[in-house]
Amino acid sequence: MIAYVLRRLALAIPTLFGIVVLVFLLLHLAPGSPASAVGSGESGRRVSAAAREEMRRLYGLDRPLPERFARWIGRVARLDLGDSFVDRRPVSARIREALPATLALNGLALFFTLAIGIPIGVAAGGRPEGPFDRTSAIVLFALYSMPVFWAALLLQTLLSVKLGWLPLYGVSSDPPPTGLAGVADRLAHLALPVTCLTYASLAFFARLVRAGVVEARSQDYVTAALARGVSRRGALWRHAFRNALLPLITLLGLLLPGLLSGSVIVERIFAWPGLGRLYFDSILSRDYPVVLGLSLIGAVATLAATLAADLAYAFADPRVREGS
Amino acid sequence: MKIRRLLAILVLAIACRAKEDAPRPAAGARPDPTAAPAPALGFLDESREGTPVEGGVLRRRLIGEPATLNAVLQSGLPEQQVLQYVSRQLVDFNPLLALVGNLAQRWTVSDDGLEYRFFLQPDAVWEDGTPVTSADAVFTIRRIVDSKVPSPVFKPLFESLEVIEAIDPTSFRTRFRDRDAFHAYAFALPLLPAHRFEGQPFLKARDNRAPLANGPYRVAKWKTQQSIELERNPLWKGAAGHFDRIVFRIVPENSVAYRALVEGDLDETWIDEPLKERSASDPRFQSCCRVVEFYNLDYNYIGLNNRSPLFSDARVRRAMTMLLDRPAIVKSLYAGSARIISGPWAPDSPAYDASVTPLPFDPHGAGELLDRAGWHDSNGNGTRDRAGKEFEFELLVSAGSNAGRQIDEIFAAELLRAGVRARIRPLEWATFIERVDSGAYEAATLGWAAADPNPDPFPYWHSSQFPPRGLNSSYFSDPAADRLMEDARHELDPEKRRQIYHRLHRVFREDPPVVFIANATQKYAFRRRVHGLVTSPLGLFGFSPGPLSWWGTPDEDVAATRK
């Protein structure tokens, strides 16, 4: 097991390096520059050539690409992500500021995806082609096909504007209430964006669980369990679902880094101060240090989660760790 | 408000990004209240209506977070909107586009137009009680010209600065290397407190996010990506704003801001044509809010690269203008709220000569011009050609500009009928503008957003300003136009300068560098509780007093609902 872990870790390092080089090149070779993006997009301000040249020099963009890369890697090795081109604050500070908002949003969304998706998937897979399976398939497909921006605006219109039940946007009221009322206020602000993020991934997840359960329930051990007199429900949850869980581990490994990446659309519509908005705005303004910092963190998180998923898989399935 | 319910498709003025010109320097020499024509139809002046109510909160919208609140480092509208409350400028523009003193109580210009002396208000103080002195002005202007400081807004205005020095604590002098009628516009400039930056790295100073105020308000709170809150500056003496607090909420999405306005979460927001139409049939909007619409100095145009063999001939450029159905664009795209232009200014600019009529939409006449320029369909494939080269080109447009894309569609369809092929290519903004600024394009749909009333066409149309050094990215070169542009910027007398511009305007009509399109209205939605609005060709914000004249009554329908 330890050898397996070490092997996987050793493999992760070149992968990480590859990702970092690729992101760096893509970003720096893409057209546009921090100087051309100045003035929050299309404010129409035209920066004079002299000012543009000076900005390039200030940001070190007049240096050759390999030199810029070496400097950046050198800083990252010292755990320094550099300063943002836009507000000149440390990249790490900007990320730290936006991280909690995104974690809360995506964490809750993931929780609800699992909490709703798994029961639906198991129930649907328990009786394939049954009425529940068919109905849920249609409903889930409809949800899956619904564009998030559209659903978000619709929900806002209905629940915030028409009925006035939920706040329109933001993370809290201004000024935020204290104590329990404060918690309730924050949860109310979370409700709509979490719903938007959940419904889209729900369909995908539930259908995957269903597929796993459908496959598992026709296995001999389920038949055997039923023959032993285990209830249908018991056979489904204790035998079929536990085996169907294996591919879910992999999927979870892929979903976890999404906790960090944020959702650009949802965060923009709900004016949510998270990482998705930071990433998007940074790309538009060609804020290279922030984009690189976020990409690096995303890459590390993906690799770590994949590694964790592999380990969990190995733990759950002896065939994997013994390499058979 | 007039309600037009035409089939107008989307309208994002090319300045579709909520554009609210904020204070910032540029054009006309000495204060000259008569320089601008009286504001045209659609302008609003409620400053004398009702008795202002003092107190309360004004909730404004920002489309994005300010990158900084350091006046020198600012680069966008959000920064300007916040700073307008916090930092006084040396001079301001009044609603008629003339310069008036603010921190500077007066100033003088030498006869040769090169040297300016400013005399500061002796009683101006910073929020910490220290006086505002000429040392602050000298520090601020020195930072602007410092090669280690990115100051995209002000740097170009001080590029020919030769000397800046204090004379005594309340006066300073500047000298420029060249004579330019518009140097004074550079001083529509907020100052920085020099003493707060001592021993601090300028780019990372604490004050960049928590600036020391010398204006009527000061920064109370800044919640990253959420809101910025201002409160009254207790040390402020002088005409103050009417509200006790100003809360700026950062709401990137237009349609969400509209809902927030109706909900009572915001008091104002920039809106586009589709939202304006929606508001007309939205009873909730009508009961709580109103649309404010006015013309400013923005306009849009289709840039043509005059260096390209396709567009080097003035006859071809005239033909291009005559092939763009501008009346139809004004009618369908802008629902009538736009004015066709015939030169590089909006009609409310003092430089614009209203007697120069725009070229008509005339496909037949355009065809003849193209024929005369040697473009015929010699091989019968439906596309004109000359010396073996087909008349086809790539028409760039910013992907974020819906209006731009629709104009391009209308243009391309008409061109096709005339035997010219245009391939529309939307590009993301930074990519788009980099290609335009470097001259690596054939045609591009562009917006001109006037941040100040400076009508000087020199940086954009003079033949000495080709890329990469200058911003004449259409490579327009006309000796007569060049001469007039030089004369105008050297002419210190406003009336004589205006006459030169009017002559230049005629040159632009006969030898159009690009296809000038129209000057469309700006639209904002306000809650009805906000009164005292004044608009100017600089918009709602880019002049004095701008938003400082607004006042508000309590918002009963909001108090009644949630929050």
Cβ contact A46–B260 (<8 Å): no
What is the helix (H) or strand (E) element at residue B403, kind and residue range? helix B402-417
Cβ contact B152–A42 (<8 Å): no
Contact yes or no for B160/B182 (Cβ under 8 A): no
Cβ contact A42–B400 (<8 Å): yes
Cβ contact B156–A51 (<8 Å): yes
The vertex-B141 CA angle with B137 and B142, nearest 5°, equals 115
CA distance to A86, B428, B514, per residue, from B398 (Å): 22, 6, 17
Tokens (6 digits) for B77: 């509208």
Coil, helix or strand for A9?
A: helix
B268 forms beta bridges with B526
How many whole angstroms separate alpha carbon B447 and alpha carbon B561?
Answer: 41
Coil, helix or strand for B517?
A: strand
Cβ contact B256–A168 (<8 Å): yes
C-alpha torsion angle, residues B477, B481, B484, B490 (rounded to 10)? -30
Coil, helix or strand for B390?
A: strand
The vertex-B449 CA angle with A281 and B114, nearest 5°, equals 115
Within 8 A of B284 by CB-CB distance, chain A residues are 161
Cβ contact A42–B471 (<8 Å): no
Exposed / middle / buried, residue B312 (Cβ in 10 Å: 0-12, 13-18, 19+): middle
Q: Which of B295, B293, B407 is nearest to B3 (CA)?
A: B293
**Cβ count near A8 (within 10 Å):** 16
pLDDT tier, A46 (very low <50, low <70, confident <90, very high otherwise): low
Q: Is the peptide bond before B152 cis (omega within 30 degrees of 0)?
A: no
How close A168 comes to chain B (CA, Å)? 7
How many whole angstroms separate alpha carbon B491 and alpha carbon B501?
Answer: 11
CA distance to B37, B93, B110, per residue, from B495 (Å): 12, 18, 19
Contact yes or no for B378/B394 (Cβ under 8 A): no
Chain B residue with minimum CA distance to A185? B563
Cβ contact A32–B470 (<8 Å): no
Within 8 A of B65 by CB-CB distance, chain A residues are 281
Q: Tell me the residues of chain B between 402 and 441 that have a Cβ less than 8 Å away from chain A.
A: 428-431, 433-435, 437
How close B283 comes to chain A (CA, Å)? 12
Within 8 A of B263 by CB-CB distance, chain A residues are 160-161, 168
pTM, to two decimals: 0.87
pLDDT digits (tens, 9 = 90+) for A168-197: 899 888 778 888 888 999 999 999 999 998
Cβ contact B225–A170 (<8 Å): no
Of A40, A49, A97, the CB nearest to B470: A49
C-alpha torsion angle, residues B447, B189, B535, B249 (rounded to 10)? 80
How close A275 comes to chain B (CA, Å)? 11
Within 8 A of A270 by CB-CB distance, chain B residues are 256
B156 touching A, CB under 8 A? yes
Angle, helix B479-490 to helix B494-510, in steps of 10 degrees: 160
In whole angstroms, what separates CA A140 from the centre of its chain?
A: 20
Tokens (6 digits) for B464: 């000495």
Chain A residue with minimum CA distance to B59? A174
What are the helix (H) ranges across chain A? Answer: 2-29, 49-58, 65-77, 91-126, 131-145, 148-155, 179-217, 220-227, 232-234, 242-255, 258-261, 264-269, 275-284, 288-316, 318-321
CA distance to A84, A281, B193, B399, per residue, from A285 (Å): 11, 6, 29, 15
Within 8 A of A43 by CB-CB distance, chain B residues are 15, 17, 19, 76-77, 449, 451
B137 touching A, CB under 8 A? no
Contact yes or no for B235/B125 (Cβ under 8 A): yes
Cβ contact A173–B563 (<8 Å): yes
Mutation choice for B interface testing from A159, A174, A277 by most B CBs within 10 A: A174
How many whole angstroms separate alpha carbon B542 and alpha carbon B534?
Answer: 11
User: Cα(first)–Cα(last) distance of chain A, in Å?
Assistant: 13
ipTM: 0.85
Altogether, the residues listed in chain A come to a count of: 324
CA distance to A105, A171, B60, B410, B479, per residue, from A186 (Å): 11, 6, 22, 48, 65
Q: Which of B487, B520, B519, B484 is nearest to B505 (CA)?
A: B484
Q: Which of B302, B223, B371, B207 is nearest to A88 (CA)?
A: B207
B520 forms beta bridges with B338
Chain A residue with minimum CA distance to B447? A44
Contact yes or no for A48/B459 (Cβ under 8 A): yes
The pLDDT score that the predictor gives to residue B405 is 94
Within 8 A of B260 by CB-CB distance, chain A residues are 168-169
- pLDDT tens sequence for chain B (563 residues): 333 332 222 233 333 333 333 333 333 333 343 344 444 445 788 888 889 999 999 999 999 899 999 999 988 888 999 999 999 999 999 988 899 999 999 999 999 999 999 999 999 999 999 999 999 999 999 999 999 998 888 988 999 999 999 999 999 999 999 999 999 999 999 999 999 999 999 999 999 999 999 999 999 999 999 999 999 999 998 888 899 999 999 999 999 999 999 989 999 999 988 899 999 999 999 999 999 999 999 999 999 999 999 999 999 999 999 999 999 999 999 988 999 999 999 999 989 999 999 999 999 999 999 999 999 999 999 999 999 999 999 999 998 888 899 999 999 999 999 999 999 999 988 889 889 988 999 999 998 887 788 899 998 999 999 988 888 999 999 999 999 999 999 998 999 999 999 999 999 999 999 999 999 999 999 999 999 999 988 889 889 889 999 999 987 555 444 44
How many whole angstroms separate alpha carbon B451 and alpha carbon B189?
Answer: 13
Specify the residue for token string 């690096």. A296
Contact yes or no for A287/A34 (Cβ under 8 A): yes
Contact yes or no for A14/A317 (Cβ under 8 A): no
Cβ contact A55–B204 (<8 Å): no
How many whole angstroms separate alpha carbon B55 and alpha carbon B246?
Answer: 10
Residues 6+ apart with CB under 8 A from A81: A75, A90, A91, A92, A95, A289, A292, A293, A296
CB-hemisphere CA count at 13 Å for B28? 26
